[in-house]
Copies of this chain bind each other. A is one copy, B any other.
């Protein structure tokens, strides 16, 4: 078995989720590579040490530049705030390392384009962690579409509803709260949540060509953790957009952190001439499917409990009826990435693919700012 020596940059929520994937990969997937947690790297020395100890990283490296260039590292995983993705990814690619980058790829299209250019020049394997493509129910949705079960698509919907920033007492900035700081995050819900929905839409329904959007910042000022002062909030708290897809269908997207009662309601629905599909991340074991060709008196939305061995990835886990969770989407994504290395067929979404999502995000933000329809650059 070949070693796949990992340098992890960042120790937050994503640092944990990715570490878990590396550690568990070989328990479930028969592969020729074995991840080795080599280096943990982060700004806060103590936190990095604790993180490394819990997850079993062999050593700690305070200087990310040394970490990504280390001779005993094959793969760099970027789990830091968005404002650091570009420089770390570029350094890693230039050092010839494989690069796995947490989504969104960057704060904006300019950064993302630079990253794509460098990584493609370096020719290193790369992936962006749009992990939800590897939720079995979503992978199954893709399979059903590819089997021709949905027919001509008319409508696509994607929501990502949360409610954790409603209180004006929640501050912005710093560890854990950088997602509210526009400097660190680039945007608010657009990059954090809509990006996931856009990636899923691209995966299932193809390119988005035009958008018109509306964004809102409900809480205009919040205390900034780093400065200690009340400062204007630069992110979008909520963002909604209407989309045209290249295939002629219409899209409706919404993300917010102000939808009381929803914690991670990431939904998708696709309606086509021959069938429809629905999914909700809060009950991710289900895919709902409506088949038009059924006899008319027994037509109905069927809840597929996506836990059978014939469902994507599920033969690797337990027995039918027993659910896996959020974290397994990362294990599945990693398995596909490693399989990509082993077979030479690169996994998606890579940096170039994620750039297209970035372009839609930017078109959305531009549209919201300028109050007009904006092209994404993709063509029908």
Which A residues are closer than 8 A to B by beta carbons?
A: 13, 16-17, 19-20, 23-24, 26-27, 54-55, 140, 143-144, 149, 154-155, 157, 161-164, 166, 212-214, 216, 218, 238, 240-242, 244, 250, 252, 254, 256, 258-265, 271-276, 281-286, 288-292, 294, 296-305, 307-308, 310-311, 317-328, 371-373
Contact = CB atoms under 8 A, between A and B. Distances in A.
Contact of A325 (B20, B244, B294, B324): B324
A298 B290 CA distance: 10
B282 A318 contact: no
B238 A261 contact: no
A309 B263 CA distance: 12
Contacts of A275: 260-261
A318 B16 CA distance: 9
Contact of A301 (B274, B303, B371): B303
A272 B260 contact: yes
Given A238-B155, A284-B323, A325-B328, A263 B310 contact: no
A164 B250 contact: no
Contacts of A299: 302, 304, 308
A350 B303 CA distance: 38
A306 to B, nearest CB: 9
A282 to B, nearest CB: 6
Contact of A256 (B55, B155, B218, B290): B155
A260 to B, nearest CB: 5
B326 A322 contact: yes
A20 B55 CA distance: 15
A318 B310 contact: no
Nearest to A269: B259
Contacts of A254: 155, 157, 252
Nearest to A13: B319
A304 B301 CA distance: 7
B301 A258 contact: no
A265 B269 CA distance: 14
